[in-house]
Chain A
Amino acid sequence: MRAHYIGWKDLRIRLRDRNTLVLMLLLPVALTAIIGFAFGGDSGISTVEFLVAGTEEDDLISQAAAGLGSGSEMFQAEPATESAAREAVAAGEKPAAVILPEDLTETVIEGRRAEVVVLSDPASRIKSGIVRELAERFVARLNAGSILSRGVFETLAEERGLSEAEQRRLGGFLFGWARDALEEPRLTVEQRQAERQEIDVRAYFAPSFAVMFLLFTMLTSAKTIHEEREAGTYSRLMTAPVARTTFVGGKLLGSYLLASIQILLLVLLSSLLFGIRWGSSPIAVVAMSLATAAGASSLALLIASLTRTSRQTDNVGTAFVLIMSLLGGSMWPIEQAPEGFRSAARFTFNYWAHSGFKELVFNDAGLAGIWQELVVILGMSAVAFVLAATLLVRR
């Protein structure tokens, strides 16, 4: 009996099992869709609604609210009393409120010290952080205008001495002039982000989840080695003229074929359902997919070879996959992790597989752009395969 008979039979059994298909395809696609729902599309983050309170007249508070909101539709600032603002933030109805000091206008013109207080809901750290940022920008503008106009006023007063009429005239003029002059500053900072297409979270997470669930599927496939023994089918098979190497080879072949089908189907499905473009080089996509399939099937087989029962393979394997997925960035953007963490990630299979697919999706890298990832993954596959085959044949 040749190995490919065993491999083909395994593949047919797995593909007929609806539960395998759920794990292989439905779950990664569903999670990618959920992430796309959360962070993708045009709707983005919901509006940042906050309150502005103070003792100024209502129209001044409204003006301050408009100034704080920067005229953007993303921010919705409403005037309120301080007690109402406190109540709303404490109850978690609003993420934050800005409390302006008494006599804000006088304070700024005369340069008196005062505090703008941002009340924040600790359960809403991101939105309250945004409101704090808005308040700081608003205050920075007022401070710059105040310092400039007072600087000019004080210097002129020192130069010539100012009559009361001159003081009034100058005071009325200076603050408006400073505000207008600072509207169009001479020195600006122009920000430029790295030239890359806008990050589509689904394009980022589709390969992550594909790799993670590929490993899970491979585990269920690899543990059939133990299940065959536990169910007695292995003993029956050994009564036929089948070498152990043929059995192990067949198992690996079945796993590899299943892995290849899974990863290629996920690439296809994510293109059709989410419009993800996997780069312009189909050869590179297929090469990356087949290498990833080889890595995942070999690693799963290695776990099966190191464990003694199907239950052990399940437990040890699932822990292994989850830890590698956590460390390797299959569950969150590893780019945001501290440096030491990113270095540790390079020891995981998930990191290299995800890195290769990311290069294809975001940088349109061809084969030449992913050679490093291919070498590392194929190296891992070879080591895992040799170890697994040796252990399984010996057992």
Chain B
Amino acid sequence: MRSVLSITWLNMRLLAADRSAFFWLLGMPVAFTFVFGIAFSGGGGGDVDPDEIRYALTVADLDPGPLSDELLERIEETDEIDLLMLEGPDAGEEARRLVDEGERSSALVIPPDFSARLASGERVALLFHRNPDRTNPQATRRTLDRIVARLNVEALAAEGATEAYSLLWGDPTPGTVRRLSVGVEQFVRESWETPPLTVSVERLGRSEPSDVPAMGFQHSSPAIALMYVLLNGLMFSIMLVEERRFRTLNRLFTAPVRRASVITANFLWRFVVAMFQASVLVVIGALVFGVDWGGSPGGLVAVFAAFGAAVSGLSVLLGSVARTTRQAQSAALVLALSMSALGGLWWPLEITPRAYQIAGHVVPTGWAMDAMHALVSRGHGLPEVLPEVWTLLAFAAAFSVAATLAFRSE
């Protein structure tokens, strides 16, 4: 046991003496967390109040009639959209060009006969150009749909009044229809902002919006922590190759040290570094990015420990199998990046096809990320993530057995 601890301690001291190691263990993951956090947040990555956000909508109003002005007034009244008006006969074409070339996110074109057709009861379509690369047009379109729905209801006031009146008392006079229409429109105006049904969202877990200001980091922090524990862990396989290359392993075996002790020490120091790295990244995530890691420190430790054990086993296996440092480096990169992509560390597995989700669970990353979702997002505890922890430990056992069999000193 003493020799195991001595070799472990020695390897960790060697690693600590290398200043660049800290950059790779901590600096790069923090930079990645920051960038991916912004990417997932869809905004600045910080405390965003959706009610405060206003989007710009480019408008080409080709209609000389009064109803287009009314439509634009309704849009402005929402206080959600800033209108950027285009003038001139080519405004419609200009709106299309601005969106196509990515200068504007979305544009609304009101056709020239808008008022005339609506007044005569004909159907008419507004043209909404959207840039598929931007997310803003979704919100703009939602607001526009709301206004259009209300205009449609108001437009049916006269027809509804006529149909209902005829049903009960025979055909109404034009004066009656006008009077009734005004009444219905008045009712619609008064009731529209206080509709009978509303939608509310109840999140079942810890991630209530008020608790978690930075939703982007809530995903990127655990995912990047797992990815770098994996990437750095596998890169440590190079050290084993170098130990063989410089014959330090051979020299070690001339001392009264058992093979089992050397192998165990190689697992142990990798595992300790993985746990150290994960702990610091969790603390940085909480303090710098405001990540809520859930209410189960025990669960978090268990998941990182099981994952770290699996990575350590794979690292020793890779170091034992690889013939050169370059081979170990290439294999580590291939394994770490493809496992990260497959296991849902780069994008949520929920948006991928079923076959991809299955493939994501052939590798340890898929299970580790599932456990992170359960702990961090749903607020589950250790009992709920035990299936994932056991699966990760099974991976660790399989890798470790294979690594022990493949371990060689020259």
- Residues in chain A within 8 A of chain B (CB atoms): 17-20, 22-23, 26-27, 30-31, 34-35, 37-39, 41, 43-46, 86, 89-90, 92, 95, 101, 107-108, 111-127, 132, 135-136, 139-140, 142-144, 146-156, 158-160, 162, 166, 169-170, 173-174, 177-178, 181-182, 184-196, 199, 220, 315, 319, 322-323, 326-327, 332-333, 335-338, 341
Determine if B2 is an interface residue (Cβ-Cβ < 8 Å): no
Q: CB-CB < 8 A to B397: which residues of A?
A: none
Interface residues of B in 134-172 (CB under 8 A from A): 134-135, 141, 144-146, 148-153, 155-157, 159-161, 163-165, 167-169
Bound Cα distance A337, B35 (Å): 9
CB nearest neighbor in A for B121: A186
Bound Cα distance A336, B358 (Å): 28
A37 lies within 8 A of B356 (CB) = yes
Minimum Cβ distance to chain B for residue A173 (Å): 6
By CB atoms of chain A within 10 A, which of B27, B144, B205 has the most? B205
Tell me which of A151, A190, A323 contacts B187 (CB under 8 A). A151
Bound Cα distance A181, B350 (Å): 38
B125 lies within 8 A of A190 (CB) = yes
Minimum Cβ distance to chain B for residue A107 (Å): 6
Bound Cα distance A116, B180 (Å): 32
Q: CB-CB < 8 A to B204: which residues of A?
A: 86, 89-90, 119-122
A132-B199, A152-B157 given. 17 additional CB < 8 A pairs? Answer: A27-B330, A46-B353, A122-B203, A140-B146, A146-B196, A147-B191, A148-B156, A148-B157, A150-B191, A156-B180, A170-B164, A182-B156, A186-B122, A188-B126, A191-B141, A193-B131, A195-B100
Q: CB-CB < 8 A to B348: which residues of A?
A: 124-126
B351 lies within 8 A of A19 (CB) = no
Determine if B391 is an interface residue (Cβ-Cβ < 8 Å): no
A336 lies within 8 A of B180 (CB) = no
Contacts A19-B327, A337-B39 given; does A158 touch B378 at CB 8 Å? no
Q: CB-CB < 8 A to A194: which residues of B?
A: 99-100, 102, 129-132
Q: Report B317-361 CB contacts with A as 1/0, cut-off 8 Å.
A: 000000010110111011001100110000110111111110100
Number of interface residues of B (CB under 8 A): 110
Tell me which of A30, A108, A140 contacts B334 (CB under 8 A). A30
Tell me which of B152, B169, B196, B374 contacts A160 (CB under 8 A). B169
B134 lies within 8 A of A118 (CB) = no
> Can you offer 18 A-B residue contacts whose CB atoms are under 8 A?
A18-B327, A46-B353, A113-B198, A114-B197, A126-B351, A143-B197, A144-B153, A151-B183, A152-B157, A173-B163, A177-B163, A181-B159, A187-B151, A189-B126, A191-B141, A194-B102, A326-B35, A338-B38
Bound Cα distance A17, B102 (Å): 44
CB nearest neighbor in A for B131: A194
A178 lies within 8 A of B156 (CB) = yes
Q: CB-CB < 8 A to A117: which residues of B?
A: 199-202
Q: CB-CB < 8 A to B185: which residues of A?
A: 151
Q: CB-CB < 8 A to A89: which residues of B?
A: 204
- Residues in chain B within 8 A of chain A (CB atoms): 20, 23-24, 27-28, 31-32, 35-36, 38-39, 42-44, 96, 99-100, 102, 118, 121-135, 141, 144-146, 148-153, 155-157, 159-161, 163-165, 167-169, 176, 179-180, 183-185, 187-188, 191-192, 194-207, 215, 219, 324, 326-327, 329-331, 333-334, 337-338, 341-342, 347-348, 350-357, 359, 373-374, 376-378
Q: CB-CB < 8 A to A119: which residues of B?
A: 202, 204
Tell me which of B130, B196, B202, B342 contacts A107 (CB under 8 A). B196
Question: Ordered nearest first, which 3 A-B pairs have the shortest CB separation?
Answer: A155-B183, A123-B373, A151-B187
Q: CB-CB < 8 A to B192: which residues of A?
A: 147
A27 lies within 8 A of B205 (CB) = no
B199 lies within 8 A of A173 (CB) = no
Q: CB-CB < 8 A to A160: which residues of B?
A: 169
Minimum Cβ distance to chain B for residue A345 (Å): 11
Bound Cα distance A31, B341 (Å): 8
Q: CB-CB < 8 A to A113: which residues of B?
A: 194, 196, 198
A341 lies within 8 A of B168 (CB) = no
Bound Cα distance A35, B347 (Å): 10
Q: CB-CB < 8 A to A153: which residues of B?
A: 164
CB nearest neighbor in B for A185: B152
Minimum Cβ distance to chain B for residue A52 (Å): 13
CB nearest neighbor in B for A108: B196
Tell me which of B187, B200, B206, B359 contacts A118 (CB under 8 A). B200
A151 lies within 8 A of B157 (CB) = yes
Tell me which of B164, B197, B219 contacts A115 (CB under 8 A). B197
B132 lies within 8 A of A181 (CB) = no
Q: CB-CB < 8 A to B168: which residues of A?
A: 156, 162, 166, 169-170
Minimum Cβ distance to chain B for residue A203 (Å): 14
A191 lies within 8 A of B169 (CB) = no
Contacts A123-B373, A186-B122 given; does A181 touch B160 at CB 8 Å? yes
Minimum Cβ distance to chain A for residue B408 (Å): 20
Bound Cα distance A144, B195 (Å): 8
Q: CB-CB < 8 A to A116: which residues of B?
A: 197-200
Contacts A166-B168, A315-B20, A326-B31 given; does A333 touch B149 at CB 8 Å? no
Minimum Cβ distance to chain B for residue A254 (Å): 17
Q: CB-CB < 8 A to B42: which residues of A?
A: 336
Contacts A187-B148, A189-B145 given; does A23 touch B333 at CB 8 Å? yes
Q: CB-CB < 8 A to A46: which residues of B?
A: 350, 352-354, 357
By CB atoms of chain B within 10 A, which of A45, A95, A112, A155 has the most? A155
Q: CB-CB < 8 A to A35: which residues of B?
A: 341
Tell me which of B129, B149, B155, B327 contacts A192 (CB under 8 A). B129
Bound Cα distance A323, B133 (Å): 23
Minimum Cβ distance to chain B for residue A219 (Å): 11
Bound Cα distance A325, B207 (Å): 31
Contacts A17-B326, A123-B377 given; does A44 touch B197 at CB 8 Å? no
B334 lies within 8 A of A26 (CB) = yes
Bound Cα distance A132, B127 (Å): 26
Tell me which of B198, B334, B350 contacts A124 (CB under 8 A). B350
B197 lies within 8 A of A108 (CB) = yes
Q: CB-CB < 8 A to A115: which residues of B?
A: 197-200
B32 lies within 8 A of A326 (CB) = yes
Bound Cα distance A194, B179 (Å): 45
A92 lies within 8 A of B373 (CB) = yes
CB nearest neighbor in A for B194: A113
Q: CB-CB < 8 A to A335: which residues of B?
A: 102, 133-134
B100 lies within 8 A of A23 (CB) = no
Tell me which of B28, B44, B201 contacts A132 (CB under 8 A). B201
Q: CB-CB < 8 A to B27: which residues of A?
A: 319
Bound Cα distance A23, B129 (Å): 42
Q: CB-CB < 8 A to A337: which residues of B?
A: 38-39
Contacts A135-B199, A332-B36 given; does A186 touch B123 at CB 8 Å? yes
